[in-house]
Structure 1
Amino acid sequence: MRAMQLITHGSPLELRDLPTPAPDAGEVLVRVATCGLNFGDLLIIKGTYQEKPALPATLGMELAGTVEAVGEGVTHLQPGQRIAAYTGFHGLAEYAAIPANVCVPIPDAMGFEDAAAFLITYGTSHVALDYKAHLRAGERLLVLGASGGVGLTAVELGKVMGAEVIACARGPEKLEICREMGADHLIDSETDDIREIVKSLGGADVIYDPIGGDQFTAALRACNREARILPLGFASGDVPQIPANILLVKNLSVLGLYWGGYAKLRPQVLTDSFAALIDWYVQGKIKPHVSNVLPLGQANDALALLRTRQATGKVVVDCTA
């Protein structure tokens, strides 16, 4: 089978021919149709991600495809079943042997492109806004990095949950996509004063931040009392230091979220979240925005779209092409 592997940190992935794996006990063999790319893949390549695989490693955190075979002890999945999975690795290949307990059956109405763009981005935003921040209808939600993979789903889910959504992104084209996904107010992070605009709108009750840096600082200063702040990542490269006195005076809550950690910490949180999200998808309430689909051999080009922030929403790799 073909697979895109990381051989040394900091280098492009290499397309290699590898033996097709066989599923061990508790695993399934999946014929991979699509693989969704994430910012974490870039961190793995740099060697700075919280999980560091032994090299060489096949990258690709989430995949969608068809179960080809099941290992010993697997009873809830069958060959021919269509699934999506958050695997951490293994997605950029024609086949993957993965734990059966990370596989989520997908409905017939969900195509493989949508399925590969679904679990991590929607899962992250739903757990952040619902389970962690308890976002309520009528509250004001500020989404930083709103045109990115997770940011765009936060805009969309915020509207489904009844919030007034402020989307902050770079440039008019990306902001237009945020508007199409339901944003009520738009802020250009390149030219606008985030703090002043958010305050003029009445302040933020929940802040969703995968960016960090100066944008986090500006958003913090525009919080309402008892606001909840969700640091989800630091795409700016700058991890902000939070002044405790501001948290004290405004009774703010900072709620860190490493979504992938719930697979071991409290897997039922993810199971419940996926059930709600798939139901919303079937009802037509949410729909992934996939800006680019590239073939497996061009995975480095696909990753470059993330690295240079040219993509909006998700970038997906077609592992059959």
Structure 2
Amino acid sequence: MKALRSHAVGGPDTLTLDELPEPQPGSGELQVRVHAAAINYPDVIIIEDKYQIKPPRPFAPGSEIAGEITALGEGVTGWNIGDRLIAVPGWGGLSQTVVIAAKSAFRLPVNRSFVDGAALLLTYATSIHALYDRGQLEAGETVLILGAAGGVGIAAIELAKAKGARVIAAVSSDEKAAAATKAGADATLVYPRGPFDRNGQKALAEQFKAAVGSKGADVIYDPVGGDYAEPALRSIAWEGRYLVVGFPAGIPKLPLNLTLLKSCDVCGVFWGAFAARDPAANANHVATLFRLWDEGRIAPVISATYPLESGGEAIAALASRSVIGKVVVTLD
């Protein structure tokens, strides 16, 4: 089999296409023929050793997969060879064959493509956990979503609208604003590219405040971080919830006096740990996602697909923060 692997710390250009023997499933595991692997922000930083998880090298990035079962490990029940599935193994997805824990997989309906299936779990499961669990979002509330045209951003727009919320989508270009509007955002704002000095941060805070209205944002969904975080926090409503989702713009430092003045909560969102600690609750969320997908209320947005040998280009595209929705590597 072929796999695109990281042998040394570096960017996407350091990945090499290797020929390897197929891994065999152990007890409780599934051998999966990967048909598609979605690229996510952890894939950008895991090969640079900047992610909280550091697999032993050499390893293949690729945190999210869709494929079909080719072999069953000892003790596996409820699955058969040929069954279609999706899973988030964390890494290894840029390989033609992977071995995953059977308990981590979810069935992919026959009416859904492998490409679309690969793009569902990580972004939508993160966003539903963020908004519904950590943010306790209610119908009629206002949500400010940063990075709203990315994978998790579009997922957050759709899931907030499914909950009956008012969505303000913050993006970095008119093209992304159009994508956010298409996903269902009630209003958009285009912010400048950081980094910002203090005056720039104050101006951005005023932009956020004007967009959300005088009451402020009940929930702020922040998968961006960096110099955008404090200005966004300044637009939060009384007893609002600020959701910390990711840091492609850098890890921010928030002035805690703002949390006192607004009596607001700053909530961390770590979907992977949540799914591991409460698999039943996560499974219920995934069932909700499939129902909403069937109802046409959510749908993964795929901006581009790449063959396996060009998987590094897919990671580079995501790293550039120019991607709308998701990019997916196909392995057929």
TM-score bracket for this pair, using the shorter chain length: over 0.9
Partner of residue 27, structure 2: 25
Question: Partner letter of residue 50 of structure 1?
Answer: Q
- Per-residue CA shift, 1:223-244, capped at 9, x if unaligned? 110000001111102x222222
**Residue number in structure 2 paired with 1:233:** 246
The alpha carbon displacement at 1:198 in A equals 3.4
Which letter does structure 2 place at the counterpart of 1:314?
Answer: K
| Equivalent position of 2:117 in the other structure | 115
* CA shift for structure 1 position 194: 4.0
Following the alignment from structure 2 to structure 1, what is the Cα–Cα distance between the partners of residues 227 and 168? Answer: 17
Question: What CA distance in whole angstroms lies between the structure 2 residues aligned with 1:306 and 1:89?
Answer: 16
Does the CA-based 8 Å contact 2:44-2:316 persist in structure 1? no
Alignment of 1:269-284 (within 5 A): 269-284=281-296
Give, in whole Å, the separation in 1 of the partners of 2:192 and 2:107: 41
Aligned amino acid, residue 213 of structure 1? G
**Number of corresponding residues:** 319
* Aligned position for 1:56: 58
How many Å apart are 1:183 and its aligned residue?
0.7
Aligned to 1:38: 40
Amino-acid identity (%):
40
101, 105, 108: which is aligned to 1:106? 108
Match of 1:195 among 187, 205, 212: 205
Q: Which residue among 231, 241, 245 is the counterpart of 1:218? A: 231
Do the aligned partners of 1:109 and 1:282 also contact (CA within 8 Å) in 2?
A: no
AA paired with 1:156? E
What is the aligned partner in structure 2 of residue 170 from structure 1? Answer: 172
Mapped pair 1:205 → 2:218: yes
Contact 1:187 1:194 in 2 (8 A): no
Q: Which amino acid letter does the alignment assign opposite residue 199 of structure 1?
A: K
Letter in 2 for 1:233: G
> Residue type of the partner of 2:305?
V
Using the TM superposition, give the Cα deviation of residue 107 of structure 1 relative to its aligned residue in structure 2, in angstroms.
Answer: 1.4
| 1:210 Cα offset (Å) | 0.9
1:137 and 2:139 are equivalent in the alignment = yes
- SS of 1:309's partner is coil
8 Å contact kept, 1:147–1:175 = yes
Please name the residue that 2:6 is paired with. Answer: 6
Decide whether the 8 Å contact of 1:149 with 1:312 is kept in 2: yes
- Picking from 266, 275, 280, the partner of 2:278 is 266
TM-score in terms of structure 1 length: 0.97
Gapped regions of structure 1 (runs ≥ 5)? none
Task: State the SS of the aligned residue for 2:123.
Answer: helix
Given that 1:36 and 1:117 are in contact with CA atoms closer than 8 Å, whether structure 2 keeps it comes out as yes
Moved over 3 A (4+): 191-194
Residue 70 (structure 1) aligned with residue 64 (structure 2): no
Contact (CA 8 Å) 2:208, 2:231: kept in 1 or not? no
SS of corresponding position for 1:80: coil
Gapped regions of structure 2 (runs ≥ 5)? 194-199
Superimposed CA distance per residue, residues 113-167 of structure 1 (whole angstroms, 9 cap, x where no aligned partner):
1110000000000000001111001000000011111111111111111110000
* CA distance in structure 2 between the aligned counterparts of 1:149 and 1:277, rounded to whole angstroms: 15
